[in-house]
Structure 1
Amino acid sequence: MICLDSSRARATSPGAEVSAVLTGRTEDLRSAVAAIRGGTHVAVMLLGDSGIGKSTLMEAVVAELGPEVTPIRIHGSPSLTHVPYGVLGPFIVGLPVQEATSQLAVLRTLWTHLEEERRATQKPLLLIVDDAHDLDEATAGILVELAAAGWVKLLVGAAARPGLPEPLLQLWFEGIAERHDLRPLTQPQTTEMLEQTLGPQVLPNVAELLWEASEGNPLLLNSLIDDAKNDGTLLQRNGVWLLTRPPNSHGDRLTDVVRRQLLRRSPEERQALNLVALAEPVSRELIEAVVGEDAVAALIVHELIRVSAAPDPELRLRHAVYGDTLRNLISPARSLQLRQSLLRRMDTEPTSAEGLLRQVSWSMECGAEMEDRQLLRAAVLASRLYQDDLARKAASLVQDPELQIAARSVTARTHYNTGDYAVARDILEADFGAGHSVSSLLTGTLLWAAVLSAQGHTPADIMARAGGLVQAGERLAREKPADAGRILAATQERYMTIQSMVLALAGEFGGETPPEAGAPPPEPPVNHLDEAFRLSLESERLLVAGKAVSAFEVASNALSAAGAGHDELHFLTGFLVVRSAAAVIHGGDWQAAETLLARFAAGTGPSMISFGGGVHAAHGIILLYQGKAAQALNTLSGALESLRLEDPQQLFGLTAAMAFAAAAEVGAKERADSFLVDYGSVRLAASRYLRTLAEMAVVYGKARLGNHPEAIAELRLLGQPDPGQNTTGLEFDALAFCLALGDRNAAARLLELKPQLQGRRPAAICDYAAAVSTDLAADHLSAAKSCEDAELWGFAALAYDAAAHAYRRAGDALRERMAMSHRKRCLERADNAPGQEPEGIDDSLGLLTRRERDIVALAVRGFSDRRIAAELQVSIRTVEGHLYRSYAKLNVKGRDQLPGIPGN
C-alpha cells in the first residue's frame, strides 16, 4: 500500500543552479562561445521571434567571453533602415559630409575608430549587432567586409522575419558563420524557468497554462508572470504557487510590450491589427477590403498575425495574449466605428464558436444590440469554456421570457464552476418545475440535482424533491392535452436520468448483484446519459468488489456512452474520468493511469484551473501507493491548494486525507495536523468508494503518528461496511493498510481474497502477504521482486527486510547483506525524483557459486585471505582466485566495494 520505513534518513538532493534567463539556451550559449573562440567562423547569428531571448543570449555570450574580447555594440533601428550607414553615425562623426556615402571612406573611418579601441585593450574586437534585421544594406556590407578580412568577429541577433540583410546572410551561405534559430521554450523548460523565478512549489497546471498563453516566448512569459503576481491572479498559498483564474493578458507589462510593437507599425497596419484583435478569427478578404493587401501582408511577414489555409483563409493574432491588450487600448467609440466598417462588408455571421464569442463580446463592449438567441448561445459556449464573466454578462442581457430560464441556468452553471453551490441552487430552485414548455421545464434540472449532490444531499432526498418535476409535467400535460403524451414521457425520462445520476454520483449501487443466467434482462437505459450513469454505477460496484480491471473497462465504456452531447452536465466527463482513474489506480496500472490523466488534462484547455487540482491529486495518490511518500506529500499539498479554489468533483476531502497519510508517513506531524483539520472541515460528497478510502487513509495516518491503538480494528470494519454486499475491493484496501502497519494477521485474509482480486497492485501485495505467512527467505525475495515489478517500492523494501531477517536467523551473512542492499535500493528509488535511478548493486550476488559466497561472506566480515584460507581449509591461491572471479561477477574493484562494507 503506502508502506515506507519511517526510521531511515531522508535523502535531500539540492537542485542544480541554473540561470533562469538561459533556460533552454545552454547548448546555444556553449556553441556560440566556442565558435567565436575558434578560427573557423567569423560570425555567430542568433535568429528568432521578438521576445524569444536573442538579446539575453547575446549578453550571456559576451559575459562568458569576459576579458577575452573588446565588445563594440551596434543596434539596428527601424527609422534608419533606409538610411545608408545610419546606425554607424557614432563611429563616423568626423567623416566629411561629401564622403558620407562612400563605402571606402566609411570603412576607413570605422576601422580607425575600431583599431583605437583594440589598441587600448589589446584584445580581439567583437561587434555585437542587435536587431540586425533593421540594418541598411550598406552597413551590413561594411560589417561583412570587416569580418571577412579577419579584423573583427560578429555576434548578430535578428528577427526570423524579415530576417538578415543579404550581405550578412551570405556569410552563412559561405560556411564561415554559425547560425542558431532560437525556438520557443518547451513546457518542461517553462516549468524550469518558473521554478527558478518563483521557487520549486509551482503547480503543474500553472506551468501549463502560462506556457500555452506565452507560447514558450520568454518575454511574454515573464510579462504574464509579473502581471499575474501584481493583480493577484498568481499567488502563493502555504508555499504553493497557483493561479486563481486564467492569466491576465492586459496587465501593465504586457501592455507595454504590445505598445512597443504598435509603435513600429504603419497606421494601416495598426488598424489591421485592431480589426483582427476585435473580430478574430476573421476573413482575410474582409480585412484586406478595409485596410488593403499590403498592410495585411506586412503583418504576416513580421509574424504579428497568422493566416489559416485556403480555401477560406482567416486571420488571427500570432500571439493570442495580445488580443485583450489590443482591445483594451481601443476606445469604445473607436471600437464601434471599426465594428461598423466590418459589418457593412459582412454577409454572414460567424460559424465557429470562437468567432461567435468574439463577436458577441465585441458587441457588448461597444454597446451594440444583439438578438437574444445569439446572446444565449454565446452564454452557453462561454460557460462551457469556463469564461464565466462573459457567460454571466451575456445571459443577463437576454430579454425574451421564454429564454430567460435557460439564461438563468447558464448563470447557475457559472456558479457551479466556481464551487458556489448555494447560489447555484437558489437560482435553479426558483425555476424548478415552473416552465411552460417541455424544454423550459427540463432546463437546468440535471444541474439542479448535481448541485444538491455536491452539497451532500442523499439520493433519496434528491429523488423525493425531484418528484416535483413529475408533478409539474402532469400540470403541463393538463394545460396542453394535445401534447400530453410527449410531456409526460419527457418528464418521466428526465426523472429516471436524475435517479441514475444521483446514484452514480454517490456510488450507491444498493447491493444489487449481476443478473444470473436465464434472468430477464434489466430495463434498458432511457437515453445515452442514463446509460453512462448506469455503467458508472456498475463500475463502482465492480471496484468495491475488487474487480479493478473490469471496473476500468466499464468506466471507459461509460465515457464512450456519454459522448459529447451533454452541455448541461459539463462536469460529466470529469466525473467519469475520476471513476476510471479510481479503478486503474486501485489495480496499480500506473501507465494506464498516466495516459488517462494526460489525455484528460490535454483536453480541458481553459478549464485546467478547475480540473487541474483533481489531476494533481490522482498523481499524488499514485506516488503514495508506490511508497514515494515525500513526493506524494508535495504533490498532494499542491493539489489541495488548487482544490481550495475550485473542486468540481468534490475531491478536497479525499485529497486532504491522503495528504494527511503522506505527512504522517514521513513524520511531518504539524503538516499532518493541518491536513486533518482540512479533512474535517468538509462534508465528503464523493462516491462511496472514495469516501471510504479517505476514511481508511485518515485511520492509517493516525496509526503512523502513534496515537490510534484501535486502527487495525477500525480499518477492518471499514473494509466490511455491509456483510450483505461484496466489498472485497474495500476489504483489500483496508487489509493492505493493516499489512503496512505491521499487522501480520491481515496476511491470511488477503490470501483468501486473492482469487477475487484483479490488478498488478493487489497481486503483488497478496504475494507479500503469502511470504509473511510462510516467513521463508526465498518467498520474501520472490514477493519483493513481484512488488518491484508492480513499482510498489515500500512493500518491496519490507519484503527485502524480512528476507534479510530470515537469512540472519539462518546465519547466511552474505545473503543477508544482499537483501539489505536491495532494501536500500528500493528505499532510494522511493526517495528519488521521477526519472532518477538510484545507485546500488544489482542481482549479481545470485550468480556466485556456493564456495564464492562463503569466501565473500568472510571477506565482508573483514577476514584476510590467509585467515579465510585457514577457516575454509583451502589454499591462499584458491581464495584469491575465487575473490577475483567474485569481483568480476559483482562488478566491483575490491573488498571495500563488496555489499555491506561500511562506507559503500
Structure 2
Amino acid sequence: MISLDSSRKRRAAPRPAAAAGVPIGRTEEARLAVESVLGPDHVAVLLFGDSGIGKSTLVEAVVAELQHAVTPVRIHGSASLANVPYGVLGPFIVGLPVQEATSQLAVLRTFWSRLEEERRVSQKPLLLVVDDAHDLDESTAGILVELAAAGWAKMLVAAQTRPGLPEPLLQLWFEGIAKRLDLRPLTREQTSHLLEATLGPQVLPSVAEILWEASAGNPLLLSGLIADAKADGTLLQRNGVWLLVRPLKSHGDRLTDVVRRQLLRRSPAERQALNLIALAEPVTRDAIESAVGEDPVAALIEHELIRVTPAPYPQLRLWHSTYGDALRNLISPARSLQLRQSLLRLMDSEPTSAEGLLRQVSWSMDCGVEVEDRQLLRAAALASRLYEDELARRAAALVKDPELQVAARAVTARTYFNTSDYAAARDILEVDFAQGQSVAVLLTGTLMWAAVHAALGHSPADIMDRARALLAAGERLARANPDDAEQILGATRERYATMHAMVYALAGEYRQGADTDAADEAAPANTLESAFRLALASERLLVQGKAVQSFAVISEALETAGTGVDELYFLAEFLVARAVAAVVHGGDWAAAEKLLAGLAAGQGPNLISFGGGVHAAHGIILLYQGKASQALTTLSVALESLRLTDPQQLFALTASMAFAAAADVGATDKAAAFLADYEAAPRPVSRYLRVLSQMAVTYGKARLGNYPGAVTELRALGRPPGDGSTAGLELDSLAFCLSLGDRDAATRLLELRPGLEGPRPAAICHYAAAISSDRATDHLEAGKSCEAAELWGFAALAYDAAADGYRGTGDTLRERMAMAQRKRCLERADGVAGQDEEAEDDALGLLTRRERDIVALAVRGLGDRQIAAELQVSVRTVEGHLYRSYAKLNIKGRDQLPGTAGS
C-alpha cells in the first residue's frame, strides 16, 4: 500500500521555471520577440494584449535581454496627447522652430538627428521601444514607420488589443515585416506558478483556482487581488500554507486604484454606464441605453469593459466581474440612491435571475431602501447557498414577519454551518425546533438541525430520540387543526423518516445482517429519503468490499436526489464524497479524478468550504499508490484548509493519513504533530472512514517503530465484532499489514479475493498470491499487475521479491532486470521520471531464449569466446545474438546491459 523504502532521500518533482527576468507564462513570447528583433526578417515586434496583461513587463524583459546588442530609445503613448501631432516626440524635437513643428520632414530630420547622436555614442543599433502605442497620434506613428521601413531602427511596440494600433504601424504587420504577438491570459497552471513565485510553494490548490477565476488570468488583477486579500486578512498563511479564510472581496486599495485609473480614461456617459451596470448587473441593454444612450454602451463593449449575454434576452455585465465591488465602492450612498431611482423605472419590477435578485436586494440595503420580507428571505437563502454569508445574514436580519423570521433564522444558522461553526448553528436552530403554528414553519430547519447535531458528534440514536419532539409537536398541531390533521401528521412523520435516513446515512450505520438496507421497510416517502437510503446501502457495500457495486448505488443516489434541495445544500457534496470513497477503495483513479474535478469546478466560495476535502482525497490516492512523500505534502495542505471549514467532517481522517505518510517517510516531528491533530479532533462521522482513520494511525505508529501489536490491532479493525461481511475493511487492514511486512496477511487476502471488486484489490491479491507461491516468476507478474493498477509501493515490493528469487537460482540477468523494474517503481513513487517505459517495460520478453542465455553470460562478465565455449556455439553466433539483443534493448554495447554499469 505504501512504499517502505523510507531511508532513501525523497526528491520533489521539478517545477518549470521562466527565464531570468521574463514574467511567468511569457517565456515563448519573449524568445520570439528577441529573435525577431535580432533577425533579418522583421523591422518591428508588435505586442498586443488587454490592459494589465503584462505587456510593459514583457517589454522590459525583452529590452533587458537585448541590452548588449541594441540601444533602446523609449517613447510612451499618452491619451492626453493622442490628438496632438508629434506630441509624444516633444522631448526629442525641442530645438525645432515652432513654424516647422507640423512639418513631417522637419520633425523626421530633427528626430533622426537626435537618434543618431545616441547611436554614435553607443555604437549599437537603435531599438525604438514604444509602450501604450494605442495612444499614439497618426503623425507620430507615420514617423516611426518611416524610420523602421528605411532600416534606420527597429521597433518593439506594445499596445492594447482594443482600440489597437494606429493604421501606419498596423500596416507593417499587413506587409509581413512586423512580428505580431498576442498575449493571452495566464492559464490555471501559470497562475499557480506565479502564486508560488509570489507567496511560496505552499499555496492551497483551491486558492490558485479561485484567484485564477477571479482575475481571469490577468496578471495586474491577480496582483491586486493578492495584495488586497493579504491586507484585509482574507488570504493568510497558516503553518506555512497560504489559504483563503472567506470569499474574495474586490474593493481593496490596489484594485480600486486600478479601476479608478480605468475610469479616468472614459467619458462621463461611459462612466455613468459602468456605474449603473456595476450596481444592477445583470441588467438589460435597453435599460442602460435608455439611461445613457447607445454610443457609450457600444464604446464600452468595443473596449471589452462590458459584455453582452446571448439572445433572446441580452443583458449587460462587466467584462471582469472583479471590477464590480471596486466600482460599487467608489460610488457614494447618495449617488447610488440617485442612480437607483433613475434606473428602476427602466427595469423590470422583478429580477429575472437569481444573481439579479441578489444585486437588487444588496443595492437596496446599501441605499437604505426598504425591501419586502419575502424578497429578503429569498435573497438570504440564495446568498447562503452561494456562501455569501455576510449578505445572507444582513438580509435575514431585516425580515420582520414573525413566521418568516423562523426561516430567516434557519438561513442564518446555515451560514454558520458553512464555516463549520456548528455550535452557533445549533444554538439558533434549537430555539425554533418543534415549534410553530403551521406545518410549514414546524418543519423549517429540521433537516439542518439534524445535520448540525451529527456534525457535533451525536449518535444517530441520540439525534432521533431528540427528534421525537417533532412528532409530538405534529400531534399537538393536528389536534389544534382537526381538518388538516391527516396532512399535518403525514408531513411530520415523513420528515422524521427523512431525518432518520439522513443521520444514519451520515454515520454509515445500518442494520447488521440485512442484504439490503431497507429490504423490510416501507418504501421511501420522498426522493430525499430514497437518496439517503441508497447512500447507506452504498456504504454497506463498500464495507463488504463491493467497490464497483457501491459506486453504482451511490451514482443512483446522486440521480435520485436531483437538485434544488434548499435546506440540504451540501447533499451533492455528501453523496459525491461517498462516491469518491468507493472508487478510491476500488482503485479506479480515473473515476476518482473525474469526480474530484467536478467538485473543484464549483464556484470560488464553494471551493473554500469543500476544497479541503478535495485535496484530502487527492492525498489519500497518492498514499494508496505508494507516493508517500507527495501524499504528505498534499495532506498537510488539505489539513490547513479543513481547520478552517470542514462540512464533511474529514479532518480526523486527513490527519490520520498525514500521520501515516509522515511516518512512512520518516518525518517524525511532522508525524507527532499530525497524531496530536488526530487525537484532538472529533472522529469522522462515517463509520467506514472512522475505522479507516484508526487503521492509518495504527500503521503509522508501527512504521515509527516500537509498536509490536500493530498487526493484531489492524486485523481486529478489519473484522469488527458482531458485524457481517466486512471484506472491504479487511482489505484495507490487510493491505496495511502487507506494507508492514506481514506475509501471513496473504492467506486471508486470498480467502477474500473472490468477493472483492476493483483494480486495487485485484492487484493487492495478485501480490498476496505471489507471496503464497513464493516463485520469482509469480512475483514478477504480480509486480506488473501492481504497476498496471498504479500501486507503485506494492509493485516495488513484488519486484524486490522477484529479484531475490532469481538471485537464489543464479539467474543474474532476470535478477538485475527485476531490480531495474523495482527502481523504476520507486522513482514513480517519488514523482521522479524514470527511464522510458516503452524501452524498459518487460525488456526480458523482447529477447529469444537463446539471446537471454547469451546476455545472461555476458552480464556475468564472460567474453564472446567463453560464451561460445559454454553454450557450444560459434563465436560468430554469439556476436550475432549479442548484436540483435543490443538493438532490441536499445543499447549500444555490452557495457550498457542491465546491471553491468558499475559492477
Q: TM-score, normalised by structure 2?
A: 0.97
Alignment-mate amino acid for residue 491 of structure 1: T
Q: How far apart are 1:196 and its partner, in Å?
A: 1.6
Question: Match for residue 185 of structure 1?
Answer: 186
Aligned to 1:5: 5
Q: Distance in 1 between matches of 2:376 and 2:258?
A: 33
Using the TM superposition, give the Cα deviation of residue 833 of structure 1 relative to its aligned residue in structure 2, in angstroms. Answer: 5.5
Give the counterpart letter for 1:185 in structure 2: L
1:684 has 2:683 as partner:
yes
Aligned partner of residue 96 in structure 2, secondary structure: coil
1:231: Cα distance to partner? 2.1
1:12 positional shift: 4.6
Instruction: Give the C-alpha shift of residue 512 in structure 1.
Output: 4.0
In structure 2, distance between residues paired with 1:773 and 1:152: 79
Which residue does the alignment assign to 1:886? Answer: 885
* Alignment correspondent of 1:620: 619
Aligned to 2:715: 716
Matched, 1:38 2:39: yes
Deviating more after overlay: 214-223 vs 732-741: 732-741
Residue of structure 2 equivalent to 1:226: 227
Q: Secondary structure at the match of 1:566?
A: coil
Matched residue, 1:212: 213
* 1:128-527 superposed matches below 5 A: 128-514=129-515, 522-527=521-526
What does residue 579 of structure 2 align with? 580
- Unaligned 5+ residue runs, structure 1? none
For residues 617 and 225 of structure 1, what CA distance do their matches in structure 2 show?
A: 25
Counterpart secondary structure, 2:67: helix
Shift of 1:461: 0.3
Residue 197 to residue 520, structure 1, CA distance change in 2 (3 Å): closer
CA distance in 2, matches of 1:423, 1:849: 73
1:102-132 per-residue CA deviation (whole Å, 9 max, x = no partner) reads: 1111111111111111122121111111111
Residue type at the aligned position of 1:650: Q
Shift of 1:281: 0.9
Q: Which amino acid aligns with 2:750?
A: L
Structure 1 CA distance, aligned partners of 2:17 and 2:162? 34
Q: For residue 602 of structure 2, give the secondary structure of its aligned residue in structure 1.
A: helix
Aligned to 2:122: 121
Tell me the distance in 1 between the aligned counterparts of 2:200 and 2:106: 55
Instruction: Tell me, yes or no, if the aligned pair for 1:866 and 1:876 is still in contact at 8 Å.
Output: yes
CA distance in 2, matches of 1:349, 1:847: 73
| Alpha-carbon displacement from aligned partner over 1:215-258 (angstroms, at most 9, x marks no partner) | 00011111111222222222222222111122231111111111
In the other structure, the counterpart of 1:856 is: 855
**Partner residue in 2 for 1:535:** 534
Aligned partner of 1:63: which letter?
Answer: A
1:189 is displaced (CA, Å) by: 1.0
Q: Secondary structure at the match of 2:180?
A: strand
Percent of aligned pairs with the same amino acid: 73
Deviation track 1:419-454 (CA, whole Å, cap 9, x = no partner) reads: 111110010010001111111100000000000000
Using a 3 Å threshold, how does the CA distance of structure 1 residues 847 and 344 change in structure 2: closer, same or farther? closer
SS in 1 for 2:68: helix
User: Partner letter of residue 571 of structure 2?
Assistant: L
- Deviation at residue 471 of structure 1 after TM alignment: 0.5
Q: Distance in 2 between matches of 1:834 and 1:454?
A: 43
**Unaligned stretches of 5+ residues in structure 2:** none
8 Å CA contact retained: 2:12, 2:832: no
User: Which amino acid is 1:94 matched to?
Assistant: G
Q: CA deviation at 1:799?
A: 0.6
Q: Give the drift of 1:849.
A: 3.5
Q: Distance in 2 between matches of 1:898 and 1:410?
A: 70
Q: Paired residue for 2:84?
A: 83
1:783 aligns to what? Answer: 782
| Residues 13 and 832 in structure 2, CA contact (< 8 A), matched pair in contact too | no
CA contact (8 A) 1:258 1:325 kept: yes
Q: Which moved more, 1:404-413 or 1:252-261?
A: 252-261
What is the rounded CA distance, in whole Å, between the counterparts of 2:348 and 2:66 in structure 1? 61
* Alpha-carbon distance in structure 2 between the residues aligned to 1:530 and 1:485: 20
After superposition, the C-alpha distances for 1:244-275 in whole angstroms (9 at most, x for unaligned) are 12223111111111111111122222121111
| Structure 1, 68-77 or 226-235: larger mean CA deviation | 226-235
Distance 1:84 1:559, change over 3 A: same
Q: CA deviation at 1:845?
A: 2.1
Question: Which deviates the most, 127-136 or 287-296?
Answer: 287-296
Offset at residue 785 of structure 1 (A): 1.0
The alpha-carbon distance between structure 1 residues 686 and 521, as it changes in their structure 2 partners (threshold 3 A), is closer
**Contact kept? 1:631, 1:833, Cα under 8 Å:** no
The answer to whether the 8 A contact 1:453-1:685 is kept is: no
1: CA distance, partners of 2:130 / 2:267: 25
For 1:424 and 1:844, the matched residues in 2 are separated by 62
In the alignment, is the contact (CA less than 8 A) between 1:614 and 1:643 conserved in 2?
A: yes
CA deviation after TM superposition for structure 1 residue 330, in Å: 1.2
1:52 aligned partner: 53
Q: Shift in Å at residue 873 of structure 1?
A: 5.4
Shift of 1:692: 0.6
Structure-2 change in CA distance of 1:885 and 1:839 (3 Å): closer
Give the Cα separation in 1 of the matches to 2:845 and 2:839: 15
> Quick one: which amino acid aligns to residue 52 of structure 2?
G
- In 2, are the aligned partners of 1:20 and 1:196 still within 8 Å (CA)? no
Q: CA deviation at 1:326?
A: 1.1
Question: Counterpart amino acid of 2:134?
Answer: H
Q: Which AA in structure 2 matches 1:638?
A: V
Distance 1:638 1:20, change over 3 A: farther
Verify the 8 A CA contact 1:551 1:583 in the aligned structure 2.
yes
Relative distance call for 1:733 and 1:876 in structure 2 (3 A) is same
Give the aligned partner of residue 602 of structure 1.
601
What's the CA shift string for 1:13-68, capped at 9, x where partnerless? 55454258522211111111111111111111111100001111111111111221
Shift of 1:555: 0.4
Assess, with a 3 A threshold, how the Cα gap between structure 1 residues 699 and 515 changes in structure 2: closer, same or farther: closer
2:535/2:578 contact within 8 Å kept: yes
Judged with a 3 Å threshold, the aligned counterparts in structure 2 of structure 1 residues 843 and 605 are, in CA distance, closer, same or farther, namely same
- Cα distance in 1 for partners of 2:519, 2:796 equals 51
CA-CA distance at 1:685 after TM superposition: 3.4
Which SS does the other structure have where 1:127 is aligned?
A: strand
Specify whether residues 500 and 823 from structure 1 end up closer, same or farther in structure 2 by C-alpha distance, changes over 3 A only.
same
For residues 805-816 of structure 1, what are the structure 2 equivalents within 5 Å? 805-816=804-815
- Check conservation: 2:443, 2:495, Cα contact below 8 A: yes
Secondary structure at the aligned position of 1:603 is classed as coil
Deviations 1:353-399 (A, max 9, x none): 11111111111112111101111000000000000000001000101
Mapped partners of 1:862, 1:836: distance in 2: 24
Relative to the length of structure 1, the TM-score reads: 0.97
Deviates more, 1:307-316 or 1:426-435: 307-316
Inter-CA distance 862–834: structure 2 relative to 1 (3 Å threshold): closer
Deviations 1:174-224 (A, max 9, x none): 111111111101111111111122222211101100000000001111111
Q: Is the 8 A contact 2:306 2:317 kept in 1?
A: yes
Structure 1 residues 325 and 130: CA distance shift in structure 2, 3 A: same
SS at match of 1:68: coil
Corresponding residue for residue 641 of structure 2: 642
Task: Supply the AA of the counterpart residue of 1:4.
Answer: L
Deviation at 1:553, TM superposition (A): 0.5
Q: Is the 8 A contact 1:828 1:838 kept in 2?
A: no
Q: Residue 351 of structure 1: CA displacement?
A: 1.4
Please tell me whether the aligned partners of residues 203 and 240 of structure 1 are also in contact (alpha carbons under 8 angstroms): yes
Q: For the aligned residues, what is the CA RMSD? A: 1.8
How many residues matched? Answer: 902
CA contact (8 A) 1:825 1:840 kept: no
